[in-house]
């Protein structure tokens, strides 16, 4: 079994690192899936060959179109299928002739609508052809190291998070946020019906991808539980895995059963297993993203002591409330640390934790405070809160990371237009930045194996 | 006491509806508070007279500058003070000569740094001059009906939420989100030290403002508890009040005591009182915003039955999980409702709750589903989830509101570039739109007096 998994994992390379891609069902109509996918491949800067296949078009989006796969007459590594589902199995046979090694079947109309025989036929033909298959009924894939955006929306920012999702929309949301925020992704895979490739192999694939630092997953059911958990155990020794399970509650479970005909297990069991394996169990989409961001950019804190440095008194208070909720301990300032701060800060600053540098704080004041605190080993986590547009905030957080050698995150809130630039710039430098104090603290606490009062899951 | 409060409330009109404003301490240096406030007044489109006061400048931002308040020689209704704190009391006397009726003291250096005598002097002089005073040590005010943005960041979108905040940053965050999302505010007030005007009168002021539909407050302590609660009781009979209390936990409380030297009461008491008065107690900044948005745009649902209509199966499942967490009941479809849906929807749609219209759903499909469901009184709340860029999504939610006559909210997730436009457009039409299913469900549940399992507070 282990060997088979190895062989199969290897073969996913030919999907993500494909040198040529055919879009079977490429459309001339803007907005249609067969148009959007082709457009995103082109706009995403894919450097391999792209072959639009459409029997009723000569050119689409500036590329020569081909009436069929066989008309391409050059090797096609990867096929993206956006034709009606019942046509796909025959086209897989045609793909075999074209040397196809991987297929991403966006088309629906298979197991999810009860057409189990059609899906079985699809898988059988793919197996026979040695073609690995993602989907069917999925939202495509994205792999930024190969500039391969065969999905929507267009996401091109290359970064440390891999997104594996049984819901295309949840995956699109995570990828989209990572794009907007300058965080980026290594890849996104819409699992769809998981007729062939499942989360198991994908965890292994991204687990061995050097650019992936954290894997964010949305799952409704797990296909091959025991082996999946083995894979997670292996991978989680080197990178963090964050999982959101849809169908935690009875009503959610019922909905999941209707969706991809999933049979969901008991959430309590799932959640306990996650904890045992060192996985982070997220409770909603937002905390899946927030935790994955922290996990991708930060090491695990060495302890639970948190130090808050803020220009906004109110935000510091809210962060302290959240830290208490999440089982973190507020770092306490020794007399000598207090003395060091008092000697360099204006008297209106509140020498305490939260350390309130007050509303007129410049990035220099943050840096001074950090340099004064760094010699004292008083905290495992530093959160710098910027409550106004502060030029040079990036320098302050980089200084904090350098001087303290601890886990450092930022909150940027109320900063107006400058905020989104600063956040993107911080994240490109490996510092996670959050829009509220509570989201930062929750995400940081999820990296720890603590028994918090209210944030049992992220 | 009641009469006095009445008289004082009346006089806040002269602050918010001022016909002329002086910025005392207007600066020629971009980025400085005295520059930013003046710039925002101008860029915000304030149509009254603006007088920059600065003894060392002739013109600032294209306006004539005045060496002193007395040099203005025309009536100045409102003074915005951004000079060093110790200069303010004398300038209040000068303001009196200029006919000043209100003062917003952004300057710090008063009670918050222990200078209680200076603060007492300030208040005494303002009282003597009949000048009502906001602050000191505050982030200014904004009142969109008068295009009076005497704060930062610049917020000009006129909308239904009033923001009253003891933290400038928290207020700026809420106002900024409301601006970005097309929701808008009637006003924002940074309370600062509350030396004169407090949350009490502001709740009354915005309570009687016809454009304000909901009041969002961040408070660390309440100045005059019993009378404040009376005011809330009165106001909350006609508009919703959402409160986030900083210092819920022991660590947060300690931080609040350092901040504006607040003595915070026990949170459990506060929270119970909120419930009794029909106020919504939010638990973090994000849910303060989310609940205020729902409260401003929606009536209270008549019951707890929720119907989810989605193009994204996964998002529907997550919404169902959140609904269960928050004590809402999933609406059940009668056989006739199922029949009505089956007869008009493609067979791949999942006729259930969540109603999964599948990934290729157009806005017409949403409208058809809504028209089919509307005759059955099966839900008190409808949430429409759009999991892809769907042109015409606005029409679908407006149709849902019209046809069902129930509480309707939207979730727009994973929609790429089109999303922010659609969200703004929905909110300008009075439909709250959320970025995740869980945030929508939590916000909606906060409108109800339910005893949820996990969302005890929003």
In tens, the pLDDT along A165-212 reads 999 999 999 999 999 999 999 999 999 999 999 999 999 999 999 999
Q: Is the pLDDT of residue B8 over 70?
A: no
With cut-offs at 50, 70 and 90, classify the pLDDT of residue B259: low
CB contact B284 to A (< 8 Å): yes
- Report the alpha-carbon distance of residue B386 to residue B365 in Å, rounded: 12
Backbone angles phi, psi at B310, to 5 degrees: -140, 155
CA distance B388 to B384: 12
Instruction: List helix spans (H) across A327-392.
Output: 335-342, 363-373
State residue B261's pLDDT score: 56
Task: Give me the pLDDT at residue B257, please.
Answer: 80
B 185-244 near A (Cβ less than 8 A): 218, 220, 244
Contact A252 B313 (CB under 8 A): no
- Between A22 and A274, the higher pLDDT residue: A22
Q: Do A251 and B330 touch (CB under 8 A)?
A: yes
Name the pLDDT band for B265 (thresholds 50, 70, 90).
low
Question: How many alpha carbons lie under 13 Å from residue B454 in its C-beta half-sphere?
Answer: 16
Name the token pair of A7: 């062989």
Predicted complex: ipTM over 0.90? yes
Q: Give, rounded to a whole angstrom, the gap between the first and last alpha carbons of chain A.
A: 34
User: 14-53 in B: which are within 8 Å (CB) of A?
Assistant: 31, 33
Mean pLDDT of chain A: 92
Averaged confidence pLDDT in chain B: 92
Any chain A CB within 8 A of the CB of B167?
Answer: yes
Is residue A275 over pLDDT 90?
no
Report the alpha-carbon distance of residue A171 to residue A122 in Å, rounded. Answer: 25
What is the dihedral sign for C-alpha B121, B122, B124, B129?
A: positive
Contact between B168 and A314 using a beta-carbon 8 Å cutoff: yes
Burial of B314 (0-12, 13-18, 19+ CB in 10 A): buried
Instruction: Give CA–CA dist B176/B188, Å, rounded.
Output: 11
The two tokens of residue B56 are: 């060392």
Residue B310 makes CB contacts below 8 A (sequence gap 6+) with: B316, B319, B354, B355, B356, B357, B384, B385, B387
Higher per-residue confidence, B225 vs A283: A283
Cβ distance B109 to A348 less than 8 Å, yes or no, reads yes
A313 forms beta bridges with none
Spatial contact of A348 and B193, defined as CB atoms under 8 Å apart: no
Cα separation, A97 vs A69, in Å, equals 9
Which residues does chain B have within 8 Å of residue A323's beta carbon, measured at their own beta carbons? 251
Contact list, A356 vs chain B (CB under 8 Å): 258-259
* Chain A residues with CB-CB distance to B172 below 8 A: 387-388, 413-416
Please name the residue that has the structure tokens 């101008």. B42
- Which tokens belong to B458? 């929003």
Nearest 5°: CA angle at B402, between B401 and B403? 100
Given pLDDT bands bounded at 50, 70 and 90, which one contains residue B367? very high
Nearest-Cα distance to chain B for A351, in Å, is 9
Q: Are residues B416 and A153, on separate chains, in Cβ contact within 8 Å?
A: yes
Res B297: pLDDT: 98
The span from the CA of A63 to the CA of A38, in Å, is 10
Beta bridge partners of A105: A81
Report yes or no: A110 and A85 within 8 Å, Cβ to Cβ. yes
Q: How many Å lie between the alpha carbon of A371 and the closest alpha carbon of chain B?
A: 22
Of A61, A69, A75, nearest to A88 by C-alpha is A69
Tell me whether A314 touches chain B (CB under 8 Å).
yes
Question: What contacts A48, CB < 8 A, 6 or more positions away?
Answer: A18, A19, A20, A21, A77, A146, A148
Query: How many interface pairs between A and B have CB atoms less than 8 angstroms apart?
Result: 244
Distance from CA of B347 to the nearest CA of A (A): 8
Strand order in the sheet with B78-81: B49-53, B20-24, B78-81, B102-105, B132-134
Largest CA distance in chain B: 79
Tokens of A121: 């036929």
State mean pLDDT over B269-292: 91
Please list, residue by residue across B161-200, b when 16 or more beta carbons sit within 10 angstroms of its beta carbon and e when fewer do: bbbbbbbbbbbbbbbbbbbbbbbbbbbbbbbbbbbbbbbb
Cross-chain residue pair A152–B388, CB shorter than 8 Å: yes
- Chain A positions touching B354 (Cβ under 8 A) are 255, 258
Residue (of A30, A97, A104, A105) closest to A70 by Cα position: A97
Alpha carbon distance A325, A339 (integer Å): 30
Interface test with A, best of B172, B321, B354, B383 (most A CBs within 10 A): B321
Do B317 and A259 lie within an 8 Å CB cutoff?
Answer: yes
CA distance B329 to A430: 42
Q: How confident is the model at residue A263 (pLDDT cuts 50, 70, 90)?
A: low
**Cis amide linkage into residue A153, ω under 30° from 0:** yes
Instruction: Nearest chain A residue to B218 by CA: give it.
Output: A314
Q: What is the pLDDT of residue B269?
A: 81
Nearest to A118 by CA among A93, A136, A141, A132: A136
Q: How far is B120 from chain A (nearest CA, A)?
A: 18
Q: How confident is the model at residue A450 (pLDDT cuts 50, 70, 90)?
A: very low
pLDDT tens, residue by residue, B64-107: 999 999 999 999 999 999 999 999 999 999 999 999 999 999 99
> In chain A, whose CA is at the least distance from the CA of B138?
A359
- Res B451: pLDDT: 40
Contact state of A172 with B387 under an 8 Å Cβ cutoff: yes
Q: Which two tokens stand for residue A260?
A: 């991809």
Beta-bridge partners for B412:
B386
Q: Decide if B106 touches A, using CB distance below 8 A.
A: no
CB contact under 8 A, A312 and B356: no
Distance CA B321, CA B311 (A): 17
Tens-digit pLDDT profile for residues A117-174: 999 999 999 999 999 999 999 999 999 999 999 999 999 999 999 999 999 999 999 9
* Residues 6 or more apart in contact with residue B88 via CB below 8 angstroms: B81, B105, B107, B122, B136
Give start and end residues of each alpha helix (H) in B98-224.
116-129, 168-180, 199-207
The secondary structure of residue B61, as a DSSP letter, is T
């Amino acid at each position: 079994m282990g060997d088979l998994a190895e062989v199969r994992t290897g073969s996913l390379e030919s999907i993500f690192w494909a040198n040529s891609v055919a879009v079977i069902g490429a459309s001339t109509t803007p907005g249609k899936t067969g148009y959007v996918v082709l457009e995103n491949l082109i706009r995403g800067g894919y450097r391999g060959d792209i072959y639009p296949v459409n029997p009723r078009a000569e050119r689409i989006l500036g590329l020569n179109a081909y009436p069929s796969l066989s008309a391409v007459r050059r090797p096609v590594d990867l096929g993206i299928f956006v034709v009606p589902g019942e046509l796909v199995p025959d086209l897989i046979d045609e793909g075999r002739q074209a040397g196809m090694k991987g297929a991403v079947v966006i088309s629906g109309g298979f197991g999810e609508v009860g057409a189990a025989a059609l899906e079985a036929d699809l898988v059988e033909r793919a197996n026979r052809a040695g073609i690995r298959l993602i989907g069917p009924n999925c939202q495509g894939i994205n792999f930024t190291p190969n500039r391969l955006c065969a999905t929507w929306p267009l996401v091109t920012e290359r970064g440390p998070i891999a997104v594996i999702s049984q819901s295309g929309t949840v995956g699109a949301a995570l990828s989209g946020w990572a794009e907007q925020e300058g965080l980026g992704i290594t890849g996104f895979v819409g699992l769809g019906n998981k007729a062939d490739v499942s989360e198991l192999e994908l965890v292994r694939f991204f687990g061995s991808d050097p650019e992936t630092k954290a894997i964010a997953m949305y799952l409704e059911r797990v296909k091959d539980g025991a082996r999946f958990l083995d894979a997670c155990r292996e991978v989680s020794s080197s990178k963090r895995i964050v999982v959101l399970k849809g169908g935690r509650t009875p009503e959610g479970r019922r909905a999941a059963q209707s969706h991809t005909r999933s049979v969901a297990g008991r959430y309590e069991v799932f959640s306990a297993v996650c904890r045992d394996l060192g996985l982070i169990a997220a409770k909603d989409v937002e905390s899946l993203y927030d935790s994955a961001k922290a996990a991708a950019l930060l090491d695990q804190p060495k302890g639970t002591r948190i130090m808050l440095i803020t220009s906004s008194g109110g935000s510091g208070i809210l962060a302290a409330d959240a830290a208490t909720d999440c089982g973190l301990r507020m770092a306490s300032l020794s007399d000598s640390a207090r003395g060091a701060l008092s000697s360099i800060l204006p008297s209106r600053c509140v020498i305490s934790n939260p350390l309130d540098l007050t509303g007129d704080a410049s990035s220099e004041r943050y840096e001074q405070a950090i340099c004064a605190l760094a010699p004292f080993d008083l905290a495992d986590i530093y959160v710098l809160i910027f409550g106004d547009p502060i030029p040079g905030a990036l320098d302050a957080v980089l200084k904090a990371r350098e001087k303290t050698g601890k886990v450092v995150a930022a909150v940027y809130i109320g900063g107006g237009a400058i905020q989104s630039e600063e956040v993107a710039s911080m994240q490109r430098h490996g510092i996670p930045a959050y829009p509220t104090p509570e989201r930062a603290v929750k995400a940081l606490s999820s990296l720890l194996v603590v028994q918090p009062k209210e944030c049992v899951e992220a």
